[in-house]
Amino acid sequence: MKLDREIIERLAARLEGCELEARDTTKITDDHPDMDWDDAYAIQDEIKRRKLARGARIVGLKAGLTSHAKMKQMGVDTPVFGFLADYFAVPDGGEVDSAKLIHPKVEPEIAFVTKAPLRGPGCHIGAVLAATDFVIPAIEIIDSRYRDFKFDLKSVVADNCSSSRFVVGGRMGDVAALDLRTLGVVLEKNGEPVAFGAGAAVLGHPAAAIAMLANMLGEKGEEIPAGTLILSGGITEAVAVQPGDAVTLRVQDLGSVSVRFA
Ligand code: OOG
Ligand code: MG
């Protein structure tokens, strides 16, 4: 750790204030170029602590920057993780109030729900599939608090990996009956297909993102409990949305999930 507790708390308050008031800010590495990974996750943990203290509940986890499309779009090379709070959840077919967000983008994702705990190190795709209750289509709505959506990895980790809203819907899929690598996804904006992909875009297999997350948490002595919803990461580049847009994600064999931006 390079930053002291007081600075971590101040940075968490600044980033969370931007989230809650839909304001952007400069990258925190601009002011603290020597911050390390532990500092970045400590700021994220402090944002989580602030939300819990206010009565919010943590309802899931997310892996991010797990596809080459996303890594290339953001100019980074390492996956990261964050958490999902209860008020991030939007019902399938529901509406997101654009006034509460800064510059939202949508991502097509496969969400996993676990039925057994996962603990690294040594977690692998087989362990993840054995511990998966079901998979389900998800649209993640990311909204970096950084100006022009530009950041480096440590800044984005501190910002809870741009987490903002998410929608799950469609059909629950049984991983024993699906090949998650060839599972096709089509993202539509206002009825036009705008991004396409298959599950293998995420680290070769979406379950590899969940294994990576269990291994990263294992290094901190934490596990993924049974019953956790986990977003495995955007399969394609994220697509910017404006007020008035309607977005639908269609996933092969698993139906569709939709959201509108008011
Ligand atoms: C960071 C969050 C990335 C994903 O699915 O790759 C992410 C960002 O690109 O703002 O959620
Ligand atoms: Mg995502």
pLDDT digits (tens, 9 = 90+) for 20-41: 999 999 999 999 999 999 999 9
Would you state the structure tokens that stand for residue 133, as one six-digit string? 């209750």
Query: What percentage of the chain reaches a pLDDT higher than 90?
Result: 96
Residue 78's pLDDT is 87
Question: Does the model's pTM come out above 0.95?
Answer: yes
Separation of alpha carbons 205 and 199, rounded Å: 6
pLDDT digits (tens, 9 = 90+) for 208-235: 999 999 999 999 999 999 999 999 999 9
CB 146 within 8 A of CB 24: yes
CB 200 within 8 A of CB 208: no
pLDDT digits (tens, 9 = 90+) for 237-249: 999 999 999 999 9
Cα dist from 166 to 62, 111, 242, 258, 259, whole Å: 10, 10, 16, 11, 9
Residue 139's pLDDT is 99
Separation of alpha carbons 37 and 158, rounded Å: 9
Segment 167-188 mean pLDDT: 98
Is 142's C-beta closer than 6 angstroms to any atom of ligand 1? yes
Segment 72-96 mean pLDDT: 95
Residues around the ion ligand 2 (C-beta < 5 A): 107, 140, 234
Residue 122's pLDDT is 97
CA–CA–CA angle 156, 157, 159 (5° rounding) = 65
Segment 49-54 mean pLDDT: 98
Distance of alpha carbon 193 from the chain centroid: 22
Q: 219: CA distance to ligand 1 center in Å?
A: 22
Is 233's C-beta closer than 6 angstroms to any atom of ligand 1? yes
Q: 138: CA distance to ligand 1 center in Å?
A: 14
